[in-house]
Amino acid sequence: NAGVTQTPKFQVLKTGQSMTLQCAQDMNHEYMSWYRQDPGMGLRLIHYSVGAGITDQGEVPNGYNVSRSTTEDFPLRLLSAAPSQTSVYFCASSYSAEPNSPLHFGNGTRLTVT
């Protein structure tokens, strides 16, 4: 069972570069989301999706774009990286919005922007 797969595991970018963090799930989950984890801040929601073609902003969306062309994939794009985007990024998925359907998390991408 692959679950939620995030690539790459580590990435170093220079300020102003762009990149895409990949997230794929093989559980046919409709709901997917991106969080960033910073020391002393917990996890904060960046963007989320309730199904293919539908995305919305979370708590900290600035500087990030997302799209959801398929049920399986939910990439996160940084168009012009900034040092403030140095963080660990987690993708999560869920079968439904019901509380009995827990979130499944990937193992994260550690991004450093210099």
In this chain, which stretch among 11-19, 20-28, 41-49, 71-79 interacts with other proteins, using CB under 8 A? 41-49
Query: Residue 56 Cβ, how far from other proteins at the closest point, in Å?
Result: 7
Whether omega before 99 lies within 30 degrees of 0, making that bond cis, reads: no
Query: Residue 86 Cβ, how far from other proteins at the closest point, in Å?
Result: 18
Of 80 and 107, nearer to other proteins (C-beta) is 107
Contact between residue 35 and residue 59 where contact means Cβ atoms under 8 Å apart: no
92, with CB counted inside 10 A (0-12, 13-18, 19+), is buried
Query: Residue 15 Cβ, how far from other proteins at the closest point, in Å?
Result: 27
Q: At which residue do the structure tokens 């499944």 appear?
A: 104
Of 17 and 30, nearer to other proteins (C-beta) is 30
